Amino acid sequence: MISVQVTAAGTVVREAVVGKLRQAGILVTATTGTVVVAAGGTIDEALTTCPPTLRTRGQRLIVAADTLNPAGVLHAVRAGARILLQTPETTPDQFGAAVHSAVHGESRVPYGVLVRLLSGGAELSMPIGDPLAAPLTERQLTVLTLVADGHGNADIARELSCSEHTVKNVIYELMARLQVRNRAHAVAHAVRAGLI
């Protein structure tokens, strides 16, 4: 059973993150969990809520912040964060997928943040870049086409001979690349852009 401990800079921030995790079906505990989510307005603010002892007990660390900047991203990685999320843009399903990814030892940085970081960009508080500048992979296009045809995650997993977890991760990644908030928005955007 996956459990998550949330450390947050303030009650409002904590409630926002806990609400999204619970909507994703993730168990949130008051004590040490398998995964620790440190949340705040900035990465540094989020990290100050998470004592170093929580990072050294084998838990996986996710940092969720309203704004991400290159210096903060590097600080988070050095502090042991496996996954970085921009809280306002991250849906409950994406939070759930991030927790599962952390449990499996995977690391994730939103695509736009990674591009901006590698190009030496500044503050990342707003959506970044032109979604068409980030073409989808063949697998992402296949999954998006199946979503557009009305298939659920279980159906897509059977069709592609993979796990539902893998399907969720692919959907999470394509949504980040397209900078959309949900599956319907992803399909509408892809149709308008001529991707499917």
The per-residue pLDDT for 130 is 41
pLDDT score, position 195: 79
Closest CA to 164 of 143, 186, 138: 143
What per-residue confidence (pLDDT) applies to 30?
75
Neighbours of 191 (CB within 10 A): 12
Q: What confidence score (pLDDT) does residue 27 get? A: 87
Domains and CATH numbers, the chain: 3-118 (3.40.50.2300), 131-192 (1.10.10.10)
pLDDT given for residue 194 in this prediction: 77
The pLDDT assigned to 63 comes to 93
Q: Which residues of the chain, if any, have pLDDT below 50?
A: 122-134
